Amino acid sequence: MLSDFVPDPNCHPCREAMETTKHFLISAILIVLILLMGMGGYMFIEGWGALDSLYMTVITLATVGYGEVHAVSEPGRIYTIFLIFLGVSFFLYVVGAMMQFMVEGRIRHILGRQRLDRKIKRLRNHYLVCGYGRIGQVICRKLMSEAVDLVVIENNPERIDVIGDDRLLYVIGDATDEAVLMQAGIEKAAGLIAVLATDADNVFLVLTARQLNRSILILARASQHRAKAKIQAAGADYVESPYELGAVNMAQRIVRPTVTNFLDLAFKRGSNEIQMEEIPVSGRSSLRDVMLQDSGIRQEFNLILIAVKKPDGHMIFNPSPETRIEANDTVIAVGEIENLARLGRKLN
């Protein structure tokens, strides 16, 4: 679904502002050229000075009828008629062009918004990312690399260009507003990630989201440690503090550098070495109800099985050869990307 989205550049306010600036610049240049041409004509035909010629040009183009500066010769009158027609035509052109630009810009904005809304309505089991600040951008780009369908909710119109450049579907509005969440498809969403600016906003967002979709998975950010309990009480399934996680990670690099490097390698997408992946087991899998010693996973796929997660959430670490792979289990394995993909096809 993400690959189907091609953002309409005409829907971005900053680009519309650039187009408006270009129109005003062109109009200003044309005005200056007409004034210079009018001045030059009177100076050449009537032999007037620069100020008199400019004054005559301005009152002629403005059609204010203040009267002629000096007596105008017959060639000068013919030239004045030509200048009046030119000035009126230019004025009508500028007004018409600006009206057309504003009307077409509004139409493009409406049509672009309708296309986005249609794409959002077709989504199922997607994720809502509420807030597109620094953390929201990192989350979205990571999830996009995993081909996860996303809808961003952002209240700051200045970030629309960034969202469009990242090829994301989006809704502009307050994420704590029920109507905005409904527009983003919360009823059909699999999860919601709350990364708004303040903990109070995230608490209110979690409360609202939980009321609209009782089964949705909610992950939230907490800036302060004391806010974690409040956000969890509001209905969040998981609450993370980026500052605490960053501090713990820095400490781990000091006391356990090898383990930290291994985890970095295991979770780094695009590595040609190893990856850690979780793979669900479907009821159609040929390995369903088969013991690990008979599955051939280690021999055929050259993978290491770290754990098997049961449907009730129980985790079996370092499963024994007698452990059975059952439907709806989740297998956590480490190995090369290609081998993990082959195992995924086998388990699905």
CA angle, corner 126, sides to 132 and 268, nearest 5? 65
Grouping H, G, I as helix, E, B as strand and the rest as coil, residue 332 is strand
pLDDT of residue 203: 95
DSSP letter assigned to residue 1: -
pTM more than 0.75: no
**Four-residue CA torsion sign, 241, 244, 249, 255:** negative
pLDDT at residue number 10: 42
- DSSP character string of 181-234: HHHTTGGG-SEEEE--SSHHHHHHHHHHHHHH-TT-EEEEE-SSTTHHHHHHHH
pLDDT score of 108: 57
pLDDT score for 8:
44
How many C-beta atoms lie closer than 10 Å to residue 153's C-beta?
27
Predicted local distance difference test score (pLDDT) of residue 263:
75
One-letter amino acid at 32 equals: V
pLDDT of residue 232: 93
- Residue 38, pLDDT score: 84
CA distance 326 to 348: 12
Q: How far is CA 314 from CA 279, 301, 308, in A?
A: 16, 25, 8
Per-residue confidence of the chain (348 residues) as pLDDT tens digits? 444 444 444 444 445 555 556 666 777 788 888 888 888 888 888 888 888 888 888 887 776 666 677 788 888 888 888 888 877 777 777 777 666 666 555 555 555 667 888 889 999 999 999 999 999 999 999 898 888 999 999 999 888 888 888 888 999 999 999 999 999 999 999 999 999 999 999 999 999 999 999 999 999 999 888 899 999 999 999 999 888 888 888 888 898 888 888 777 766 655 556 788 889 999 888 888 889 888 888 888 888 888 999 988 889 998 998 999 999 999 998 888 888 888 988 898
The reported pLDDT for the residue numbered 226 is: 87
Rounded to 10 degrees, the C-alpha dihedral 235/237/239/245 comes to 180
